[in-house]
Amino acid sequence: MSGVVARQRDLRLGENLAGPVPLTLLTGFLGAGKTTLLRRLLTRPEGVRYGVLVNDFGAINIDAGLILETKADSIALSNGCVCCSLKDDLVAAVGNLLSTSPRPDHILLEASGVSRPLSILSALEADELKGKVRVEATLCLVDAAEFGGLDYSMTELAIDQACSSDILIINKCDVASEAAIADVENTLSGPMPQMRMVRAVEADVPCDLVVGFRSDAAKARLRLRADPADQGDRHARDHGEDFEAWSWTSEAPLDRSRFEAALQLLPTKLLRAKGILRIAGEPKAAVFQLVGKRRSMQSIEAAPPQRSELVALGPKGSLDAEALTAAFDATKSNF
C-alpha cells in the first residue's frame, strides 16, 4: 500500500465513546464530485474528528493530495481499487486509523470512480474490523451533465454504484439541463423506486445528510445553512430552500412497540433520521438510524439517556411536524 499520513486537524471534540466508529462510503463514477464533497465536509467547522481514506486507481493519488490540505488524518490507497486488489490494504488502513490517538469520530472512505460498492462493503465485514467499525451510510454521486453521454459499460457501472447506495446525490445540476436531470432521475428510479435522491450544485449538501447527526443536533438545530466562508461563492445558497428538519424529545421512557409502530408513519421521502432513546424496562440505550431506505434500531453499551431525542431531515415540504410530534408523543410509556 502506498500510505500517506496527513497532519491531524484541529480537534474540538473530546474522546468519542467506546464502540464501533461510523463510516460513510462515498461512491460515484469518475468526475462525479466525490472529492469536492469530501473537501466540503473537512473544511466545515463541525467539530468532528475525521479519519479519511482516499482510493485512486492510478499510481499517483491526486485526490489524496487535495485532502492533505484539509489537515485531516488521511491514508491514500493507490494503484488499484479497494473493491479488488486493495482489499487487504483497506482493512489495514481502517485499522491504522482506528489505532490513532485520539481515534476518529467518523471515517470517510472515498472509493475510486471505477469501484463497485458491494465489494467494498464486503471487505469492511472482515473479521479484523468486527465491532470496531460500522458502515453508517453509502452515498453515490452522479454527474447530471455527463450521465447521458456514458457508453454502455460505463453506464452499467454508474447504475451499479447507485443501486448499491442509500442516498443518491445528483450533482452538477447548475450545468445540466432540466431534461438531463430528469433523465438521470427516471433512469435510476426504475430499478430503485424507493431510492432517496437529492439534487446538488458543486456537491453542496447538508453535512448531516452525509455523516449523520452530531450528538448535540437535537439540542440545537440541524445545520442547514451553507458555511459563512462559502457566502462569497456564487453557488452558496441556503439549504433551507431545499431541506427541512424536525426534532422531538421525551423526558418519559418510551414504549418500544408503540415507538416501532410510529416509525412506520415516517414519510417515504425522508432522507436521514437518528435517535438515542430511553426505552421503558430496558437497561441500555437504544439507537435508531435511518439512511435513505435503510433503517435499524439496536441497543448499545451505554446507560439510557435522561431523555429520548429524535431528529429527521427531508426535502422541503416532506415533514408534517405537527403530525409527527403527535405520533411520537403517543409512544410514551404509561409506566
Please check whether residue 234 lies inside any domain of the structure.
Answer: no
126: CATH: 3.40.50.300
Please check whether residue 335 lies inside any domain of the structure.
Answer: no
178 and 284 housed in the same domain: no
- Confidence check: pLDDT of 62 > 90: no
Please check whether residue 110 lies inside any domain of the structure.
Answer: yes
198 and 278 housed in the same domain: no
56 and 177 housed in the same domain: yes
**304 CB contacts (<8 Å, ≥6 apart)?**
253, 277, 278, 279, 282, 283, 284, 285, 286
**5 CB contacts (<8 Å, ≥6 apart)?**
73, 74, 75
- Confidence check: pLDDT of 77 > 50: no
Please check whether residue 229 lies inside any domain of the structure.
Answer: no
Per the structure, how many domains does the chain have? Answer: 2
29 and 163 housed in the same domain: yes
pLDDT tens digits along 274-300: 888 999 999 999 989 887 777 889 888
What are the start-end ranges of the E strands in 89-155? 106-110, 133-143
- Confidence check: pLDDT of 141 > 90: yes
Residue 79 DSSP label: S
Predicted local distance difference test score (pLDDT) of residue 96: 86
Which residue reads 486493495 in cell numbers? Answer: 86
More confident call, 60 vs 186: 186
202 and 77 housed in the same domain: yes
Which residue reads 493519488 in cell numbers? Answer: 61
**63 CB contacts (<8 Å, ≥6 apart)?**
34, 35, 38, 54, 56, 110
Please check whether residue 2 lies inside any domain of the structure.
Answer: no
Please check whether residue 233 lies inside any domain of the structure.
Answer: no
When pLDDT is averaged across residues 119-140 and rounded to a whole number, the result is 90
Predicted local distance difference test score (pLDDT) of residue 325: 96
Q: What CA dihedral angle connects 62, 226, 137 and 36, to 10 degrees? A: -10
Please check whether residue 34 lies inside any domain of the structure.
Answer: yes
56 and 121 housed in the same domain: yes
62 and 132 housed in the same domain: yes
* CA distances (Å), origin 63, targets 24, 55, 115, 146: 17, 8, 15, 20
Least confident of 53-57, 58-62, 144-148: 58-62
Amino acid at 242: D
- Confidence check: pLDDT of 163 > 80: yes
Which of 178-182, 285-289, 301-305 is the most confident on average? 178-182
Give me the phi and psi of 188, to 5 degrees please: -85, -20
Predicted local distance difference test score (pLDDT) of residue 103: 87
86 and 155 housed in the same domain: yes
Please check whether residue 230 lies inside any domain of the structure.
Answer: no
Tell me which residue range forms the domain holding 153: 21-212
- Confidence check: pLDDT of 230 > 50: no
pLDDT tens digits along 204-227: 998 878 876 443 332 332 333 233
